[in-house]
Amino acid sequence: MGEAESQNNRKNGILQDFSFIRGNFLIILAGWLLIDFTREMAQTYYPLYVTALGGTATILGAMNAAAILAEALVKIPGGILADKFRRKRLIIVMTMIAGVFYLVYAFAPTWHYLFLGQILTSLCWIYTPGHESIVIESLPEDKRGTGYSLLNLITRVSTTPSPLIAGWLFTMYGVIGTSRIGFVFVAAAFLAAGLMRWRLSEETDKPEVTTRDVFESLSSVKGFSEGIGIWKEVSGKLRALLFVELLFIVPNTIFNVILTLYIVNDLGITEVQFSQLGAIIGIAMIIFAIPMGRIIDRVGRVRPLLVGYAMTAATIPILFHADFMQLIIATPIIGLINIIFYTSTSALWADLIPEDMRGRIVGSKGFYNLLAIAGGNVLGGLIYDNISHTLPIYLFWLVNIPCFIITYLYV
């Protein structure tokens, strides 16, 4: 009887831990699962798709940079709209329009149309500040670590088979055929997610957003400048968190840009071995996701973040002279570090952002982050090609020291 009661208590405890998986959060989770699964499949051979349609590596880099900048430009207007109006209509409409624009990728005759598709879909992400705000509002404060780790877990699980399916399609249809099929699935996934999002609920007396409101937000210089300057109105902790995040993003992006080249060309790891390392990271993140989320909910957000910086500083030096076995040992640690950073920072932002400024802060943060990512992408290639193959690794290693200190003192 005692054992049965203990089992029931454990079962009830687990159900209580995940009781937030309903309503808006469940709708968002289902939509992300569909979109991430299909988009990962379509993106598997995207660089080869660009070159097969006449593009070059330089053109691919320019396309990606332009798409990042286009997305950055709509983040602040999207944040303003998320705070002033109901969010549901904009989320649904732009999700479905993005689905239509992905058909441009699917039927592109040349790389120019892929470029057009990237710009058009990037502009659709004006809805993401409102979407992220709904995620924050759907998670109880004491379950945000678990919630964000669950989102990460679902993304990892849903995307794990995608490259394998793309590889199977490749054996039958080649790069172009596989990519076209993949992007048709992406379009269908966005349209399906848009239909799901009709079920989102909003309890607010804010007015409905109109097409005129969207265009006014995009053309408002005042609104844009207010979005950039909104950090004057927030707490010192939020400003410190933004500063640390941007300080970390630039060298992290520089590092990620050259990582594949460095591991394959400089360390002598084969392409097959590299893909195995990627699989190990994915499995590690799946294993660690939920336990780390629950730990972050129990001990707070800052302490795990500090541990993440310390673990990164301790792990990165392995990359200077690593062989395959050393990388196999280091890779699960890197997966754990990724989980710690994503979950703790996401939960920390959700905790600190004032409710009445949520959309604008999410939008402005996204704007600055994307600019940092764009800069990191450019610098990574330039440093690797013209200065040093190891300097990006040193930069990423060293940045953990000021990030640790600032987080400890000010966040």
Kindly tell me if the per-residue pLDDT of 10 is higher than 70: no
13 has a pLDDT exceeding 60? no
Question: Are 43 and 100 in contact, with CB atoms under 8 Å apart?
Answer: no
Residue 282 banded pLDDT, cuts 50, 70, 90? confident
> Mean pLDDT across the stretch 344-364?
85
Q: Decide: residue 53, CB within 10 A, 0-12 exposed, 13-18 middle, 19+ buried.
A: middle
pLDDT at 88 over 90: no
Average pLDDT, the chain: 84
pLDDT tens figures, 55-79:
876 777 778 888 888 998 888 888 8
Find tokens 């055929």 and name the residue. 177
Mean pLDDT of 165-172: 85
Question: Which strand (E) or helix (H) includes residue 226?
Answer: helix 221-229
Which domains, and CATH codes, for the chain? 17-219 (1.20.1250.20), 227-411 (1.20.1250.20)
Q: What is the CA radius of gyration of the chain?
A: 22
Instruction: Read off the amino acid at residue 313.
Output: A
pLDDT digits (tens, 9 = 90+) for 319-330: 888 888 899 999
The residue assigned the tokens 């598709």 is 117
Taking 60 as the threshold, does the pLDDT of residue 284 lie above it?
yes
Contacts of 312 by beta carbon, 8 Å cutoff, 6+ apart: 337, 396, 397, 400
Mean pLDDT of the region 262-271: 80
**Percent of the chain's residues with pLDDT above 70:** 92
Residue type, 163: P
pLDDT at 303: 93
Mean pLDDT throughout 247-267? Answer: 84
> What pLDDT, on a 0 to 100 scale, did the predictor assign at position 386?
82
- What pLDDT is attached to residue 187? 97
Please name which of 339, 354, 331, 338 lies closest in space to residue 296, comparing C-alpha atoms: 339
Provide the pLDDT for residue 221: 65
Q: What does the alpha-carbon distance between residue 387 and residue 410 come to, in Å, rounded to a whole number?
A: 34
Measure the CA angle with vertex 281, ends 397 and 20; round to 5°. Answer: 105
Q: What is the pLDDT of residue 245?
A: 93
Q: What is the mean pLDDT of residues 212-241?
A: 80
Residue 16 pLDDT: 57
Residue 267 dihedral angles phi and psi, to the nearest 5°: -90, -15
Question: pLDDT tens for residues 95-147?
Answer: 999 999 999 999 999 999 999 999 999 999 999 988 888 888 887 777 777 77
